[in-house]
Amino acid sequence: MAIHPLEEILHPRAIAVVGASDSGGRGSGFLEPLIELGYKGHLYPVNPKYKEVMGIKAYASVKDIPGAVDYVISSVPASQVLGMITDCAEKGVKAVHLYTARFSETGRKDAADLEIEILNQAKKAGIRLIGPNCMGLYYPGERIAFSEGMPLESGPVGLASQSGSAIHEIVDLAVQKGLYFSKAISYGNAIDFNESDYLEYFAQDPNTKVILMYIEGVRDGRRFYDTLRRTTASKPVIIVKGGRGQSGTRATASHTASLAGSMEIWETMVRQAGAVSVRHLTELIDVAAAFHLLPPITGRKVGVAGGAGGSSVLAADLCEEAGLDVIPLPAEIREELKSQGSEIWDWIDNPADMSIRIDRSWAVGDMLKIMAANPNFDLLITFIRGHFHGDREKVSAETFLEQYRLDELGNKPLLAVIEEHRLRGNDDDEQAWIQELLEEVKAGLIAAGVPFYPSIERAAEAGSKLVDYYQRRESR
Amino acid sequence: MAIHPLEEILHPRAIAVVGASDSGGRGSGFLEPLIELGYKGHLYPVNPKYKEVMGIKAYASVKDIPGAVDYVISSVPASQVLGMITDCAEKGVKAVHLYTARFSETGRKDAADLEIEILNQAKKAGIRLIGPNCMGLYYPGERIAFSEGMPLESGPVGLASQSGSAIHEIVDLAVQKGLYFSKAISYGNAIDFNESDYLEYFAQDPNTKVILMYIEGVRDGRRFYDTLRRTTASKPVIIVKGGRGQSGTRATASHTASLAGSMEIWETMVRQAGAVSVRHLTELIDVAAAFHLLPPITGRKVGVAGGAGGSSVLAADLCEEAGLDVIPLPAEIREELKSQGSEIWDWIDNPADMSIRIDRSWAVGDMLKIMAANPNFDLLITFIRGHFHGDREKVSAETFLEQYRLDELGNKPLLAVIEEHRLRGNDDDEQAWIQELLEEVKAGLIAAGVPFYPSIERAAEAGSKLVDYYQRRESR
């Protein structure tokens, strides 16, 4: 297989940041995270106004840099881009990431014309473009980031997003679920590399297992469909479409100059291509966490345990409405409960309402264990609700999680619901302690391969989308 | 107007807790919160096994209590209820709350028959019943609660719920949005007072402005529709129906012995009666907070400000999908921006994407102020996103909120979106500080009459449900 054109430019030995300054705005904004993450290649600030920027020697032009430069980040104004590309061409630069904006997305003809001229000039010079109007590359493995505070950890998630601010949000959400990225690329107006190139890249990237996309408009619909369909045969692709309605379409035009198109056609296309469609970034990460931690699931029969009263009833409703099948408790489980001497063997059902237990000696973990051993269930959902309150000496994340018997559930996929509003301390001090313990509980769940959600509907919807994908993949 | 039968029994001068014990279970569970909240009437534990319970003199039977008793809480087993009712009849008790369960909800004929016998006996004795199989009354004004930690504060929300655990969840969620209750009543199997009685009661209760209901099954559909339609003419009623699907129906049967019925008929009925239907408890409180803080809104034209990039685009989509109308930025606002010298007067739109500001001297609050003054907008939504990071000495909830200019928005309804995952500290210490500040920010928003939500879709959906109600009320 030929090396992907993006693969060739994503391992730069030297990066020049054109328009770098100590101003504190975006001029320094690209240099700072590279320094912070410890980018190992050569780093060259370029700005004719300064001798040095952030303590690093600066150059007046890309041409003046003594060593080779393969990757340039441009934060100069739009009017200076053509000149900069000329310099890059002379220098033998392979790729330019244009943070520079105010092109076609402004809706102004002169700005759109300039964008085309830049593309033509870059093509002639053999320079590939990321953007314009985008944040570019986050690649923790190469220690490349575009904002401070982006995690140094790598992970199996690949992300291509037209919006850079969406990447910030997605990364923030992901980190809280223990999800990290192979690469994330913000690609803005996509005048050269477009959605299909980035998707194709992640499809062949061995470090990427789950692909996420935020797309406002597609440059080449036919190619995208084909690429998507090919990719989903081996990797899940989860897509948020921005600009679905009338007003959103207006907003995409001024954001990344995209034409949004009809949502019905889009949804049909995504479905037929075997990808997963979600409505917003929170759902994107909900579903990504399920794909990250759970094995392939191709059945919809769910067992629910750990709720009580009304919340058990609503859990059943919400699971069903998400497309899962809340089957009655299998007869052999009733028999097992009966043989264990349970008083409620003929009364307890699925969802297992823990408030009707008479004998408190068995807990939610016992029910989970019984459900996990039963082949009728394809997946399980449990509420994480035990009491954090009480004697702090005796409670740890470990003892807390023991009641769920996670190591006795075999390979049965489990999703957890942690309703944090139910786990509040009586004062600030206790609250801080619970918060800390909760972080450890979450880490414990991740380590046990259990994705967690703040509500039953979000758990059920994530689980159901996962099944959607594997069912469609299986039926191809 | 006649005094409502419930009004007559909700101000007891003396409460007897039958089956009270020091055991730590529910036997003491009803006594403890009454002591904790400082119930002002006489409190009598009843249990032949003890001389005193929780430091209070206990009696062998209700009959043995020296003073008058108007309200009895029963936590004795089902088999002892008939005898207890006989004692209550002799004592002249007006109402019995039957926490006692294991009646028709078990699905056993003998248990269901006993339930009917109890009702008949109580009727003969002129005793009214709350329940059975329920947690009963939470009435902070009378210092009556059924669990420890229930807030002492009263508020304008009335809640009738078949499920007691749902009340715990609803109260937990509500407190975090500054919502408090006039009364909350868990009514379980509803053999005597039913859904219509509780609704009717809240309809006439001057301390209740917003009515919430969690219903699994309706005892008398015709009466409920009529009562609901009458009530919604003056007060919003927001209803969660538990047991909507096949499995949920199964769950309601074993939870409160309710027959769920068809969801299509239910939804039509709720709509025609002018009430608001929601899917789960979180949405219930989302909508309740909107009704609590916002004035009546009968138009759907929303202005959105404070997002950036992709999140602005998705904000437009999610508002539209929730049923709001994200109108283009009115021409007169463009003119105003132009006259102020804005460089993006012809580019910025609604949602106002704050990432395209060139001149950073104007902030989201300026945009909100301009939108608030414009009659084209019926309501506004803003993202609360300012930077908490930086110099702690300089940042307070007050200075933080100043950027939103809440006191310059006139009467324009505003909903806020606080995405807490975007407001994370760099370490535990900073995180704790941000958390504390956030609590103050939320309190500031509540004081300013601004309900807040963790996501744009939840804000938009709550706002839209509010408009639904007032539009239907207006068109009657």
pLDDT 10s digits, B5-18: 999 999 999 999 99
Q: Which of residues 286-325 of A touch B (CB under 8 A)?
A: 308-314, 316-321
3-state secondary structure of B352: strand
- At residue B61, the pLDDT reads 97
Distance in Å, alpha carbon of A261 to nearest chain B alpha carbon: 13
Say yes or no for a CB contact (<8 Å) between B317 and A248: yes
- At residue B201, the pLDDT reads 98
**A432 shares contact with chain B (CB less than 8 Å):** yes
Nearest to B213 by CA among B165, B269, B166: B166
pLDDT per residue rounded down to tens, chain A (476 residues): 689 999 999 999 999 999 999 887 776 789 999 999 999 999 999 999 999 999 999 999 999 999 999 999 999 999 999 999 999 999 999 999 999 999 998 888 999 999 999 999 999 999 999 999 999 999 999 999 999 889 999 999 999 999 999 999 999 999 999 999 999 999 999 999 999 999 999 999 999 999 999 999 999 999 999 999 999 999 999 999 999 988 777 777 777 777 666 888 899 999 999 999 999 999 999 999 999 999 999 999 999 998 888 999 999 999 999 999 999 999 999 999 888 877 778 778 999 988 766 556 568 899 999 999 999 999 999 999 866 666 777 788 888 898 899 999 999 999 999 988 887 777 878 888 888 899 999 999 999 999 999 999 999 999 999 999 999 999 98
CATH entry 3.40.50.261 includes domain B153-293:
yes
Question: Could you tell me whether strands A414-417 and A379-383 are parallel, antiparallel, or unpaired per DSSP bridges?
Answer: parallel
Q: Are B180 and B169 in contact (CB under 8 A)?
A: no
Distance in Å, alpha carbon of B69 to nearest chain A alpha carbon: 30
Q: Are A283 and A461 in contact (CB under 8 A)?
A: yes
Of B107, B255, B356, nearest to A353 by CB-CB distance is: B255
Of B166, B245, B348, nearest to A309 by CB-CB distance is: B166
**B242 shares contact with chain A (CB less than 8 Å):** yes
3-state secondary structure of B205: coil
Say yes or no for a CB contact (<8 Å) between B251 and A457: no
Q: Which of B187, B281, B313, B356 to mutate to test the interface with A (most CBs of A within 10 A)?
A: B313
In which region does residue B319 sit, left (phi positive, over 0), alpha (psi from -120 to 50) or beta (all else)?
alpha
The answer for residues whose C-beta is within 8 angstroms of residue A390's C-beta and 6 or more apart is none
Angle between the N-to-C axes of helices A109-125 and A81-91, in degrees from 0 to 180, rounded to the nearest 10? 0
Q: Are A189 and A104 in contact (CB under 8 A)?
A: yes
Contacts of A350 in chain B (CB under 8 A): 247
In which region does residue B63 sit, left (phi positive, over 0), alpha (psi from -120 to 50) or beta (all else)?
alpha
Mean pLDDT for B258-269 is 81
- Domain A302-474 sits in CATH at 3.40.50.261
Mean pLDDT for B270-284 is 97
Say yes or no for a CB contact (<8 Å) between A166 and B455: no
Question: What proportion of chain B, given as a percentage, has pLDDT over 70?
Answer: 96
Q: Are A122 and A4 in contact (CB under 8 A)?
A: no
Of A165, A251, A313, nearest to B248 by CB-CB distance is: A313
- At residue B403, the pLDDT reads 87
The token pair that represents A13 in the structure block: 């030995």
Instruction: Please state, as a whole number, how many other Cβ atoms lie within 10 Å of the Cβ of residue A331.
Output: 9
Q: How far apart are CA B422 and CA B438, in angstroms?
A: 12
The token pair that represents A174 in the structure block: 């992901």
Say yes or no for a CB contact (<8 Å) between B316 and A280: no
Say yes or no for a CB contact (<8 Å) between A310 and B176: no
Tokens 């952030």 correspond to A54
Go through chain B and tell me how many residues it has: 476
Tokens 């399980």 correspond to A380
Instruction: Please state, as a whole number, how many other Cβ atoms lie within 10 Å of the Cβ of residue A38.
Output: 8
- At residue A360, the pLDDT reads 60
Say yes or no for a CB contact (<8 Å) between B309 and A164: yes
Mean pLDDT for B192-215 is 98
Contacts of B164 in chain A (CB under 8 A): 309
In which region does residue A461 sit, left (phi positive, over 0), alpha (psi from -120 to 50) or beta (all else)?
alpha
- At residue B393, the pLDDT reads 78
Of A172, A311, A312, nearest to B424 by CB-CB distance is: A172
Q: How far apart are CA B271 and CA A132, in angstroms?
A: 49
Q: Are B196 and B224 in contact (CB under 8 A)?
A: yes
pLDDT band (50, 70, 90) for residue B106? confident
ipTM: 0.93
pLDDT band (50, 70, 90) for residue B358? low
pLDDT band (50, 70, 90) for residue B359? low
- At residue A405, the pLDDT reads 93
Of B176, B243, B435, nearest to A313 by CB-CB distance is: B243
pTM: 0.94
Q: How far apart are CA B308 and CA B352, in angstroms?
A: 8
Say yes or no for a CB contact (<8 Å) between A320 and B353: no
Write the class of the CATH domain A5-130: alpha beta
- At residue B261, the pLDDT reads 66
Q: How far apart are CA B378 and CA B299, in angstroms?
A: 5
Chain A, chain B: beta-carbon pairs less than 8 Å apart: 200
pLDDT band (50, 70, 90) for residue B25? confident
- At residue B266, the pLDDT reads 92
**B450 shares contact with chain A (CB less than 8 Å):** no
Q: Is the pLDDT of residue B396 over 90?
A: no
Q: Which of residues 1-40 of A touch B (CB under 8 A)?
A: none
The token pair that represents B453 in the structure block: 């939500």
**B246 shares contact with chain A (CB less than 8 Å):** yes
* In chain A, where the domains are located: 5-130, 153-293, 302-474
- At residue B361, the pLDDT reads 58
- At residue B420, the pLDDT reads 85
Contacts of A326 in chain B (CB under 8 A): 245-248
Question: Could you tell me whether strands B181-186 and B210-215 are parallel, antiparallel, or unpaired per DSSP bridges?
Answer: unpaired
